[in-house]
Structure 1
Amino acid sequence: MKWEDFRPSGNVEDRRGMRMPGGAGGVGIGTLVVVGLVGWALGINPLVLLSGLDAIQGGGSPTQQSAQPQGRHGAPTDELGRFADRVLAQTEEVWTGLFRAQGRTYQEPTMVLFSGATRSACGGASSAMGPFYCPLDKKVYLDLGFFQEMKTRFKAPGDFAAAYVIAHEVGHHVQNITGILPKVQEAQRTARSRAEANALSVRTELMADCLAGVWAHHANARFRILEPGDVEEALNAASAIGDDKLQERAQGRVVPDSFTHGTSEQRVTWFTRGLKSGSMQQCNALQGAI
């Protein structure tokens, strides 16, 4: 993937190396790590386990924002930090253009780079949780060590695989600022069962996969970022983190009603749909559900 010559974002907050006072959102670091590992192994978003479904989809207390640490602003100088910074900048260019074509203004998110643990407006976070988006503060949270986990644990190496992860989280930001996430939250609150609420979560995640594909389509059209093997890297990553594969690896069986992100096949299908079409309208996995 070509990224080295692209501009920095200017929307990166670097908290790496910062000590988080008082633990993470009132939860001990040991608990965060355990819960995070369980969540990733079972394909369940650990923020759901820690804070309840409302926290990740837009509930929770806005007063938590005041307790967030403030990291360094400016372009990171290490290679992984520069990579994440420039991928974020590419998403800004693409989504600004797509929103402008619809007569709208794109509100750029902030990316928080952290190590170990940190706080978000959605609650505490640890590296074991993996990347996530918090709709309350409109920030993407990322421990860059997750990319090594993708390579060694999930067998999904490659810079474009890592870019797909960032673009997926930015896809959640697009859902948030277009009003989709609040509607999902309300639908989940009135769901008749946990399985029904999980099904909404799956649709939301598949839509974010599709939006990541839309970004890749337009980023390549404008900046020629793709190199041989890049698309295969992203598809491998999407497949590796499907709920069915994660559950099969963790417990030797799959429980479809507990899926929260979609099967490997579904994730590949929806990313591919966005990549081929370049159309946000092709990404409405939630049609008829909210």
Structure 2
Amino acid sequence: MRWRKGRRSSNVEDRRGEPSPGGGGGGLGGGLGNLLALAPFLLRSKKGWLILLALAALYYFGGNLFSGSRHSEPPSLGPESQTAPGTQAGPEDEVAQFVSVVLADTEDTWGNLFQQAGSQYVTPKLVLYNDAVRSACGLSTAAVGPFYCPGDAKVYLDLSFLNELKQLGAPGDFAFAYVIAHEVGHHVQNLMGTSEKVQQARMRADKVTANRLSVMLELQADCFAGVWAFYAHRDRNMLEPGDIEEGLRAAAAVGDDRLQRRTGHVVSPDAFTHGSAEQRAYWFKQGFTTGDVNKCNTFAALAGQ
């Protein structure tokens, strides 16, 4: 991507380096007091001793014991996007700058589209964090991946997810940009009132139907990410050859069917919450090729299937 000359957003909230939320308990919620309260029960068996040691390690070191490898190396956008020789920015700083430029570009795209529709776009905040973060949606660890919280209208992003994308077979700066644009797409849905309507419908539905509604919502966010890419390319010439292919690979890599296979599970469409690899790539491409928000009505397109 041609991003270095792009405008940087003032809506990035950097919480990296802050103490782990919850008093050092790494999401346990009760900290040392709860650990001590559990001790008499856990010490009664050998298995209890092991659990107590694990909890003590989690309290002492903070964070998520199962995500330690996420930060084994700093995230990098790849050799084509490295910081120029002689500058002082480290890899994480460069990625943070990239995130800021992509966020600013989504602001420009959606600001114009909302204005054309006779409305006003309210920009979201994007929170950078390490390991764990507290939002209006509760306490989350980096293991959940990037997410949008409608309660505070913020996108939450641990930069180590860039390394996970590479492990999923979706490297590249535009793959990461797609992820950011997808989460901003959820913000657009929130402003439109779509998210609330879907949430209300899911609460009244059975599990399979609720999952299907979730898939429709996620695929629409993929399509909105494609709409952003359309304008980033047409109006600001940000995309380079191969970028859209990176986005399509990223969309497919996080398809429910691929993730189910990756974790050793049998593919179960009724359990999908985000859509298959094919669906996710299709709807991202739909947004990119049309640049038309009205072509992102996944609810109408999928309702009869």
Q: TM-score range by the shorter chain?
A: 0.7 to 0.9
- Of 211, 216, 234, 2:224 maps to 211
Are 2:214 and 1:201 equivalent residues in the alignment? Answer: yes
Q: Is the 8 A contact 2:21 2:134 kept in 1?
A: no
Are 2:118 and 1:114 equivalent residues in the alignment? Answer: no
Are 2:84 and 1:103 equivalent residues in the alignment? Answer: no
The unaligned stretches of length 5 or more in structure 1 are 38-75
CA displacement at 1:253 relative to structure 2:
1.5
CA displacement at 1:90 relative to structure 2:
0.2
1:136 aligned counterpart, secondary structure: coil
User: In the TM superposition, what are the counterparts of 1:154-165 in structure 2 within 5 Å?
Assistant: 154-165=168-179
In the aligned structure 2, how far is the partner of 1:33 from the partner of 1:287?
A: 40
Residue 232 of structure 1 aligns with an amino acid whose one-letter code is E
Are 2:25 and 1:18 equivalent residues in the alignment? Answer: no
Q: Is the 8 A contact 1:25 1:123 kept in 2?
A: no
2:127 aligned counterpart, secondary structure: strand
Residue 29 of structure 2 aligns with an amino acid whose one-letter code is G
Aligned equivalent of 2:72? none
- Of 98, 103, 106, 1:88 maps to 103
Are 2:241 and 1:228 equivalent residues in the alignment? Answer: yes
In the aligned structure 1, how far is the partner of 2:66 from the partner of 2:160?
A: 18
Aligned equivalent of 2:50? none
In the aligned structure 2, how far is the partner of 1:156 from the partner of 1:136?
A: 30
In the aligned structure 2, how far is the partner of 1:196 from the partner of 1:82?
A: 40
CA displacement at 1:35 relative to structure 2:
9.4
Write out per-residue CA displacement over residues 180-210 of structure 1, whole angstroms, 9 at most, x where no aligned residue.
000001100110x211100000000000000
Distance verdict in 2 for CA 1:77–1:159, change over 3 Å:
closer
What TM-score do you get using the length of structure 2 for normalisation?
Answer: 0.77
In the aligned structure 2, how far is the partner of 1:36 from the partner of 1:79?
A: 22
In the aligned structure 1, how far is the partner of 2:28 from the partner of 2:182?
A: 25
Q: Is the 8 A contact 2:21 2:132 kept in 1?
A: no
Q: Is the 8 A contact 2:255 2:274 kept in 1?
A: yes
Q: Is the 8 A contact 1:206 1:266 kept in 2?
A: yes
What TM-score do you get using the length of structure 1 for normalisation?
Answer: 0.81
Aligned equivalent of 2:268? 255
Q: Is the 8 A contact 2:107 2:123 kept in 1?
A: yes
User: In the TM superposition, what are the counterparts of 1:176-195 in structure 2 within 5 Å?
Assistant: 176-191=190-205, 193-195=206-208
In the aligned structure 2, how far is the partner of 1:230 from the partner of 1:157?
A: 10
Aligned equivalent of 2:8? 8
CA displacement at 1:7 relative to structure 2:
1.1
In the aligned structure 2, how far is the partner of 1:16 from the partner of 1:266?
A: 34
Residue 162 of structure 2 aligns with an amino acid whose one-letter code is F
In the aligned structure 1, how far is the partner of 2:21 from the partner of 2:197?
A: 34
Aligned equivalent of 1:145? 160
Write out per-residue CA displacement over residues 11-63 of structure 1, whole angstroms, 9 at most, x where no aligned residue.
000000111342448388969958999xxxxxxxxxxxxxxxxxxxxxxxxxx
Q: Is the 8 A contact 1:154 1:240 kept in 2?
A: yes
Percent of aligned pairs sharing the same letter: 53
Write out per-residue CA displacement over residues 129-165 of structure 1, whole angstroms, 9 at most, x where no aligned residue.
11000000000000011001111x2010000000000
Residue 266 of structure 1 aligns with an amino acid whose one-letter code is Q
| Higher RCO (CA < 8 A, seq sep 6+) | 1
CA displacement at 1:88 relative to structure 2:
0.1
In the aligned structure 1, how far is the partner of 2:275 from the partner of 2:131?
A: 27
Q: Is the 8 A contact 1:2 1:224 kept in 2?
A: yes
Residue 258 of structure 1 aligns with an amino acid whose one-letter code is A
Distance verdict in 2 for CA 1:92–1:34, change over 3 Å:
same
Distance verdict in 2 for CA 1:229–1:197, change over 3 Å:
same
Aligned equivalent of 1:171? 185
The alignment covers a number of residue pairs equal to: 249
In the aligned structure 2, how far is the partner of 1:224 from the partner of 1:282?
A: 23
Write out per-residue CA displacement over residues 63-84 of structure 1, whole angstroms, 9 at most, x where no aligned residue.
xxxxxxxxxxxxx991010000
